């Protein structure tokens, strides 16, 4: 290799992103990339080569996709957990870990559990069995309204705690005529809704439970009494319930970047449960209890991710805006790719931060 080729190779290596390993011809291009990529220690990372990926879907492609990195694929096939994507110390450690990492399905569902207790509904919110939980999951099931039955109307709602206990369940009396009960997926019949709880009544109970005695404007994730709400497609469920709740308290598995298919496309809850929890849901009639359990399990798996603790982990934090000075070309010329990564911060709230609250 001649001197010029050696210099070009060295320059390209210097312009290589320390997170995603993308290479650039010029330093200013790397700087622009770092400004808009928001790489951080909260991104899913390959346990072999330490490459940062935007989502677990990207990490899965990197390890076992159609065109994986061969070295990483070989090691992952021997020592990698196919549910949490972690690399273990040995094939035996992987086997033991994966057995613990895979969840079993909720075979009995809510209907069977309630029948065993001699209950039709659990319309009174139970604060005692779950000891006033800080985190709860919510799921609604919709029937159809309108001339073609395509308008979603909330007809059933369930709330569970972190231990899969039912905190609240009720059928909801529709405020408009139901034209399609969607029985094949909802299991809801006209008689279930005839004497059901009115929407306004259910809305008030859920709102009071979530706020937990705190004014809406005062609710915050850390240090407040309001409850964190987990679900899949929460914006839609809350809209159908005609219920408002601060976005800072929502943990939506359909919108959480590490769990999304692309930056704009969500994965289905059915897929997420099969891929990352190891069992199937939505086989036949869909139970809201089953959805609550699945979203809570996904949330807890994300919450217990072990990431480096940072004083100000979000790019939007006021304290991090001073870091933008370092992105000036005059300053960045003296920084290595690793130093750039060290001052880069995430553009989304990582759920692991909830475990620090």
pLDDT in tens, 244-301: 999 999 999 999 999 999 989 999 999 999 999 999 999 989 999 999 999 999 999 9
One-letter-per-residue 3-state SS of the chain: CCHHHHHHHHHHHHCECCCCCCECCCHHHHHHHHHHHCCCCCCCECCCCCCECCCHHHHHHHHHCCCCCHHHHHHHHHHECCCCCCECCCHHHHHHHHHHHCCCCCCCHHHHHHHHCCCCCECCCCCCCCCCCCEEEEEEEEEEECCCCCEEEEEEEEEECCCCCEEEEEEEECCCCEEECCHHHHCCCHHHHHCCEEHHHHHHHHHHHHHCCCCHHHCCCCCCCCCEEEECCHHHHHHHCCCCCCHHHEEECCCCHHHCCCCCCCCCHHHHHHHHCCCCCCCCCCCHHHHHHHHHHHHHHHHCCCCCCCCCCECCCHHHHHHHHHHCHHHHCCCCHHHHHHHCCECCCCHHHHHHC
Q: Indicate the pLDDT class of residue 27, thresholds 50, 70 and 90.
A: confident
**Structure-model confidence comparison of residues 90 and 28, the more confident one:** 90
Write down the pTM of the prediction.
0.90
Q: Indicate the pLDDT class of residue 309, thresholds 50, 70 and 90.
A: confident
Task: Note the pLDDT of residue 119.
Answer: 41
């Amino acid at each position: 290799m001649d001197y010029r080729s050696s210099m070009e190779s060295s320059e390209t290596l210097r312009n290589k992103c320390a997170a995603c390993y993308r290479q650039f011809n010029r330093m200013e291009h790397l700087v622009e990339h770092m400004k808009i990529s928001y790489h951080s220690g909260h991104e899913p990372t390959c346990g072999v080569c330490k490459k940062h990926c935007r989502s677990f879907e990207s990490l899965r492609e990197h390890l076992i996709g159609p065109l994986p990195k061969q070295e990483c694929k070989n090691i992952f096939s021997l020592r990698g957990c196919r549910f949490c994507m972690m690399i273990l110390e040995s094939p035996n450690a992987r086997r033991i870990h994966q057995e613990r990492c895979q969840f079993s399905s909720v075979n009995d569902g809510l209907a069977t559990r309630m029948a065993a207790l001699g209950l039709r509904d659990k319309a009174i919110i139970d604060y005692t069995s779950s000891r006033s939980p800080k985190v709860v999951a919510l799921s609604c099931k919709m029937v159809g309204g309108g001339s073609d039955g395509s308008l979603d109307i909330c007809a059933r709602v369930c709330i569970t705690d972190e231990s899969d206990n039912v905190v609240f369940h009720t059928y909801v009396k529709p405020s408009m005529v139901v034209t399609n009960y969607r029985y094949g997926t909802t299991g809801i019949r006209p008689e279930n809704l005839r004497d059901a709880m009115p929407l306004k009544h259910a809305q008030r109970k859920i709102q009071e439970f979530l706020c937990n005695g705190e004014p809406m404007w005062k609710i915050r994730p850390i240090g407040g009494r309001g409850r964190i709400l987990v679900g899949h497609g929460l914006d839609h469920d809350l809209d159908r319930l005609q219920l408002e709740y601060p976005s800072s308290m929502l943990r939506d598995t359909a919108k959480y970047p590490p769990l999304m298919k692309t930056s704009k496309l969500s994965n289905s809850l059915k897929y997420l449960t099969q891929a990352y929890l190891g069992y199937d849901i939505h086989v036949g009639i869909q139970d809201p209890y089953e959805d609550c359990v699945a979203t809570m399990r996904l949330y807890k798996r994300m919450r217990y991710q072990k990431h480096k603790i940072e004083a100000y982990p979000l790019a939007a934090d006021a304290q991090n805006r001073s870091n933008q000075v370092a992105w000036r070309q005059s300053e960045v010329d003296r920084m290595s790719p690793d130093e750039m990564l060290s001052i880069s911060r995430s553009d989304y709230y990582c759920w692991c931060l909830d475990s620090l609250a």
